[in-house]
Amino acid sequence: MIDQPGGADPVAAAAMAAAQLAREESALDQAISADRFATYLGAGAGDHALARALYIWDRDVSISILADIAILEVALRNAMHGALSAVWGVRWYENPDLMFDERTLGQLRRAWEELPAPVRKNRSDSRLPGRLVARCMFGFWANLLDAGGQVGLEPRRTKVDYEVMWRSALHSAFKGGPVEARAEGARYTRPWAHEALRTVNMLRNRVAHHEPLINGFPLPGQAQRLSAIDGHEACRKLARMIDRDLATWLDRSSQTPTLLATRPQP
């Protein structure tokens, strides 16, 4: 064999590169696990190369959606914190006039316990409410819009009505809510807003736990699954509910629509 100018034989180099790629793809297949990869094999009609491409596409879509929700989650908690503070003070979570059910109290307690001990001890620190609010997960805020549950022990066990919290404060957290509800032919109510938040929360939990989106995602109590496109639209809707200018910014900056439009095909 005649040596090529400049060194390595291109045929041998190509063979080595192909062998390396095959090892890397095999390592990826093993890392995914057979059960998980079967989802993508099914979506790719048994084509391993297509299944692998769908897996990477699914990862990229999930990352992009999570990036969008990172903006939404902060905006949501700030909007709801502001609405609650306007009625019950910036330390609304301590106000005895504001009733919470056991689930909410448990979530608040966990958020409180996650704060560093020196922060918890300095209760007069003006930064404390904001730091506690930042520890409250998306599900906490979504749950504040459900019907409310029970609190206390018998014989003083009591049903907490979250409609009171909605009518007194939380309806004002969503400036674009009435417009969005009317566009759907619906009334701007607590259950309507709760459903909007619940959908985004389910999507958030799915992508945060690296669950596949290739075949959509379920909502509790519903037989039909929502697609990744449905999930993205739910995020856009929530953004418009909070602030239409924020929604415009998110539409311009999000990579999700481009990724959704470039799903690998056979």
Does residue 141 contact residue 107 with C-beta atoms inside 8 Å? no
Tokens at 192, concatenated: 């309507």
Closest CA to 61 of 197, 201, 203: 203
User: 137-167 as b/e, with b when 16 or more CB fall inside 10 Å?
Assistant: bbbbbbbbbbebeebeeeeeeeebebeebbe
The string of pLDDT tens digits covering residues 64-83 is 999 999 999 999 999 999 99
Continuous segment of H or E residues that includes residue 16: helix 10-32
228: three-class secondary structure by DSSP: helix
Site of tokens 């080595």: 16
- Picking from 2-6, 16-20, 226-230, which range would have the lowest pLDDT averaged per residue? 2-6
Percent of the chain with pLDDT over 90: 80
Does residue 169 contact residue 86 with C-beta atoms inside 8 Å? yes
pLDDT at 3 over 60: no
How far is 206 from 202, CA to CA, in rounded Å? Answer: 6
How far is 178 from 124, CA to CA, in rounded Å? Answer: 37
The string of pLDDT tens digits covering residues 154-203 is 988 999 999 999 999 999 999 999 999 999 999 999 999 999 999 999 99
Of residues 37 and 161, the one with the higher pLDDT is 161
Tokens at 56, concatenated: 């990477």
Does residue 221 contact residue 214 with C-beta atoms inside 8 Å? no
- In the chain, the amino acid numbered 61 is V
Q: How does the average pLDDT of the chain come out, rounded?
A: 92
How far is 69 from 239, CA to CA, in rounded Å? Answer: 9
How far is 16 from 156, CA to CA, in rounded Å? Answer: 75
Confidence of residue 1 (pLDDT cuts 50, 70, 90): very low
Query: pTM value?
Result: 0.88
pLDDT of 21: 66
